[in-house]
Amino acid sequence: MAGKPRILRSIEKASREEIEKLQLQRLRETVKRAYEKVPFYHRRLKEAGITPDSIRSLEDVRKIPFTMKDDLRRNYPYDLFAVPLSEVVEIHASSGTTGKPTVVGYTWRDIENWAEIMARSFAAAGVTREDIVYVALGYHWFTGGLGFHYGAQKLGALAVPAGTGFTQRHVMMIRDLGATVLGAVPNYALRLAEVAVEMGVDPVKDTRLRTGIFGAEMWSEELRKRINKVWDMESFDIYGMSELYGPGTAIECHHHDGLHVWEDHYLVEIVDPKTGEPVEAEEEGVLVVTPLTHDAMPLLRYWTNDLTFLYDSEKCDCGRTMRRIGRIKGRADDMLIINGVNVFPSAVEEIILGEPMVNHHYQIVVEREGNLDRMYVYVEAARKLSEREREELAARLQYRLHEALMINPRVRIVEPGELPRAEGGKAKRVIDKRKL
């Protein structure tokens, strides 16, 4: 599948000097617009002793204070807009887990930028105008559906606005329409395959899906292997978030070794989560992004809370020169602290899904028992098992989790079909009862 020749746009092959020159010019424009048009930023920058003229090099971005998600909430709904509402043509809102959501606005120019970076992302995954892109993502407040939709159309492909829910209907339409590309959250790609099999539809023989573009939730390499296998598909990790238009900030190329950031639109930094100071290349930290072309709502140094690293090398065998970030390990606040040990749910997933006797449905429940945290991991068996098989499997997983993560969870193997299914949205993997 890999190795098909692909034509890169000249910007994708630009030299470091060209990219940085463009970034600096756009950064200065962005800071100037934020300073002049958004009262919040005017105050913020003034307090930090910064004027637009303070930005003379890309490193000068570090003088600017971070913008946190809370800043968006505090300016709900429109106070971060740099243009009059009459110029805004679309809004999206992120699901606020607590309190108000965060609202993001788009001018027509923003929609064009977004379509462009999504089209470029599709092209990086080998999608062409011959493709039929089945978009099984929400088309409402969530940015996934429309982002994929605009990008597929911009590329000239056929976009199918399928949305979420109605899984059996999706299976039928994927088959009947001859869809070749699937856009979804990764766990839903597996759910679709599961339902297809229940319906007597063979995901490989009866459908033409061969490319998957997945994002919006953390997914491990083990989950990817399962998706690729069950659909006979090549799947690509795409990155983005509603504050950054939506999907399309970065995507993998065919080498699947990190995600290329579209650096003509985004300036990225990796900083220490505690000090906010820049870390070295290849060192893990929080991704901080300054969009360079956002029109309606400029953001300066947006603290994504996502943990990743920047690749040291700028060269990739695909020919792109734009720098790569590692796959997102999780949000900084996804990390569980179990009796003082830091555990990422992604690390638990990697171990569980490495076991062929389980399917991809699992749930982590953390409780407080007396003075101790207790972690339960419920895992669905891939088929009906005898009690003895279940016990052996649980013991094996418990041992591996302990060995790799230094935690002592209780693993419970449940019957296939027993855990709740997410029909299209993100899977609820972790229930932390200590926080309820």
Cβ-based nearer residue to Zn ion, 206 or 282: 282
CA distance 196 to 68: 42
Q: Which amino acid is at 328?
A: I
Number of residues near Zn ion (by CB under 5 A): 4
238 scored as a contact of Zn ion (CB under 5 A): no
Cβ-based nearer residue to Zn ion, 317 or 415: 317
Which of 115, 253, 379, 413 is the binder for Zn ion (CB under 5 A)? 253
CB of 315 to Zn ion, least distance (A): 9
Cβ-based nearer residue to Zn ion, 251 or 366: 251
Q: Backbone phi, then psi, for 267, in 5-degree steps?
A: -100, 120
CB of 24 to Zn ion, least distance (A): 24
125 scored as a contact of Zn ion (CB under 5 A): no
CB of 320 to Zn ion, least distance (A): 5
Choose the stretch contacting Zn ion; rule: CB under 5 A; options: 176-184, 314-322, 340-348, 397-405: 314-322
Helix (H) or strand (E) holding 105: strand 102-107
CA distance 325 to 20: 17
| DSSP states of 259-310 | EEE-TTTEEEEEE-TTT--B--TT--EEEEEEESS-SSS--SSEEEEEEE-B
Q: Which residues pair with 303 in a beta bridge?
A: 288
Q: Is residue 190 within 8 Å of residue 223, measured between CB atoms?
A: yes
CB of 124 to Zn ion, least distance (A): 8
250 scored as a contact of Zn ion (CB under 5 A): no
Q: Is residue 276 within 8 Å of residue 68, measured between CB atoms?
A: no
Choose the stretch contacting Zn ion; rule: CB under 5 A; options: 101-109, 232-240, 245-253, 298-306: 245-253
CB of 247 to Zn ion, least distance (A): 18
| Tokens standing for residue 243 | 């504050």
316 scored as a contact of Zn ion (CB under 5 A): yes
318 scored as a contact of Zn ion (CB under 5 A): yes
Cβ-based nearer residue to Zn ion, 320 or 429: 320
Counts for the chain of helices (H) and strands (E), in that order: 10, 20
Cβ-based nearer residue to Zn ion, 281 or 337: 281
Q: Is residue 263 within 8 Å of residue 14, measured between CB atoms?
A: no
Choose the stretch contacting Zn ion; rule: CB under 5 A; options: 64-72, 105-113, 213-221, 248-256: 248-256
Which spans of this chain sit near Zn ion (rule: CB under 5 A)? Answer: 253, 316, 318, 320
